[in-house]
């Protein structure tokens, strides 16, 4: 009864109530719960951990996770709790730990990924995927059978879960994750997560293989599959990925803005707070580079920062604050207009933290904003210095066409 009530409360976004119901259910179980009522006990512990995450009670999750990992019968029974642990790591800007946990699970499921992939690893993986695809028409992949193998479905879930931290901190690993997604889909059938995988494979087609047409077709394949499978919990993720990685290659950047807000609203509705926060963050970046009026945009980003802070998605909050500070520097008279120090950001402190967590995307954003400010305020020598610093993190910004396409060629 408490499990059902907790699930219902969680689906209604009443996360505190959901957590209470789940905890009450655990408290009512007998001491030999794991021996006599295994399935119910596992479901309650998974539920209370996930509800604690959604309620941003991150500090309590580890105790629930440790209990599940000690009593779970198989790796398949550990997937849900590992997902929650990874979500907490991402929210707290512990991207490398999130990737370590994901690789640990995938190794056990027969999908090993190297910690630090080489270019040879990537080339070999691309060749393998292209061989599996053969001469298939891209659109024909929509008709693949449904994936049924439990271990492969679990691997798809885990690959999808570690995409965001790889996206920020390990771009080479991200490529292998995307390719593994495609390989499993072609070999074992389409899973719920295949839709997002196809969209991401569109990025590889464009950014790595230089095929914009194929990239757009894979993106549309992913969107079509998402509509066919009707997976509300994945909607925010797919919409965000399509808007962030693909649409701006063929459409004006400003046309992606409604999609980011749609991803935010969809994520908030189903408890995907990670992609809700991502939707707001990339709305802010895209609006900035699309040339929106700065005073009103600054107020809008300030409001979004408050939301992301409430969601405790600290990693994305850092990026938002970088842009808030850059806008403040443009609007105010400053003796050092290229220094991102002020109400929203302390440059040295932020850089130190981002280097520690290997957040390559945010580091690129800092140095790009600095070089842009230097250029606008005619500090050309400092601008070139920041070009060199930004180049170190260029590999993590394949998706940021606004930054690369509009400005990068000019500065180099």
Rg (C-alpha) for the chain, rounded Å, is 22
The domain ranges of the chain are 1-108, 120-226, 231-412
CATH placement of domain 231-412 = 1.25.40
Residue 344 pLDDT: 93
Q: What is the pTM of this model?
A: 0.84
Residue 1 pLDDT: 79
Per-block mean pLDDT, blocks of 10 residues, the chain (412 long)? 83 86 88 90 91 87 92 94 93 91 96 93 94 93 96 96 88 93 96 93 88 92 90 89 86 91 93 92 93 95 95 90 95 90 93 89 91 91 89 72 48 50
Q: How far apart are CA 374 and CA 348, in angstroms?
A: 17
Read off the DSSP letter of residue 31. Answer: T
CATH class for domain 1-108? mainly alpha
Q: Is the dihedral of CA 99, 96, 207, 285 positive or negative?
A: positive
Residue 84 CA to its chain's centroid (Å)? 14
Contact call for residues 137 and 172 (beta carbons, < 8 A): no
Residue 97 pLDDT: 95
Contact call for residues 50 and 15 (beta carbons, < 8 A): no
Equal fold, 1-108 vs 231-412: yes
From the list 85, 89, 82, the residue with the least C-alpha distance to 359 is 89
Q: Which residues pair with 146 in a beta bridge?
A: 190
Helix, coil or strand: residue 146 = strand
Read off the DSSP letter of residue 341. Answer: B
Read off the DSSP letter of residue 74. Answer: S
Angle in degrees, 0-180, between the axes of helices 232-242 and 273-289, rounded to the nearest 10: 20
Contact call for residues 326 and 340 (beta carbons, < 8 A): yes
pLDDT 10s digits, 212-264: 899 999 999 999 999 898 888 889 989 998 988 888 888 888 999 999 999 99
From the list 228, 121, 231, 130, the residue with the least C-alpha distance to 186 is 130
- Dihedrals phi, psi of 190, to nearest 5 degrees: -75, 135
From the list 8, 74, 11, the residue with the least C-alpha distance to 42 is 74
Contact call for residues 196 and 238 (beta carbons, < 8 A): yes
Q: How far apart are CA 111 and CA 82, in angstroms?
A: 16
Angle in degrees, 0-180, between the axes of helices 2-11 and 15-28, rounded to the nearest 10: 170
């Amino acid at each position: 009864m408490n499990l059902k009530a907790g699930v219902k409360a969680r689906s209604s976004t009443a996360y505190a109530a959901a957590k209470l119901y789940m905890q009450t259910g655990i408290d009512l179980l007998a001491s030999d719960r794991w021996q006599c009522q295994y399935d119910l006990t596992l479901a309650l512990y998974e539920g209370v951990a996930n509800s604690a995450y959604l309620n941003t009670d991150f500090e309590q999750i580890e105790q629930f996770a440790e209990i599940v990992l000690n009593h779970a019968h198989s790796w398949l029974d550990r997937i849900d709790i590992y997902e929650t642990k990874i979500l907490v790591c991402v929210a707290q800007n512990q991207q490398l730990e999130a990737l370590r946990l994901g690789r640990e699970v995938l190794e056990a499921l027969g999908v090993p990924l190297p910690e630090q992939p080489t270019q040879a690893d990537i080339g070999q993986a691309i060749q393998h995927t292209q061989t599996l695809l053969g001469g298939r028409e891209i659109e024909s992949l929509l008709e693949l059978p449904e994936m049924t193998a439990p271990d492969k479905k679990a691997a798809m879930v885990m690959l999808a879960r570690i995409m965001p931290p790889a996206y920020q901190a390990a771009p080479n690993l991200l490529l292998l994750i995307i390719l593994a997604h495609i390989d499993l889909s072609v070999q074992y059938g389409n899973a719920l997560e295949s839709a997002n995988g196809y969209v991401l494979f569109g990025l590889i087609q464009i950014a790595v293989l230089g095929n914009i047409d194929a990239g757009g077709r894979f993106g549309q394949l992913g969107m079509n599959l998402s509509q066919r499978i009707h997976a509300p919990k994945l909607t925010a993720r797919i919409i965000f990925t399509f808007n962030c990685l693909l649409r701006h290659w063929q459409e004006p950047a400003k046309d992606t803005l409604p999609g980011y807000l749609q991803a935010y609203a969809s994520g908030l509705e189903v408890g995907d707070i990670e992609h809700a926060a991502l939707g707001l963050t990339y709305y802010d970046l895209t609006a900035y580079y699309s040339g929106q009026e700065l005073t009103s945009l600054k107020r809008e980003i300030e409001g979004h920062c408050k939301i992301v802070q409430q969601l405790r998605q600290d990693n994305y909050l850092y990026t938002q604050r970088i842009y808030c500070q850059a806008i403040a520097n443009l609007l105010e008279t400053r003796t050092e207009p290229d220094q991102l120090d002020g109400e929203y950001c302390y440059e040295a402190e932020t850089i130190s933290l981002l280097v520690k967590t290997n957040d390559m995307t945010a580091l690129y954003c800092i140095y790009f904003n600095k070089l842009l400010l230097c250029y606008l305020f005619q500090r050309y020598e400092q601008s070139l210095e920041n070009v060199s610093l930004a180049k170190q993190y260029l590999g993590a910004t394949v998706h940021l066409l606004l930054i690369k396409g509009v400005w990068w060629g000019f500065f180099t």
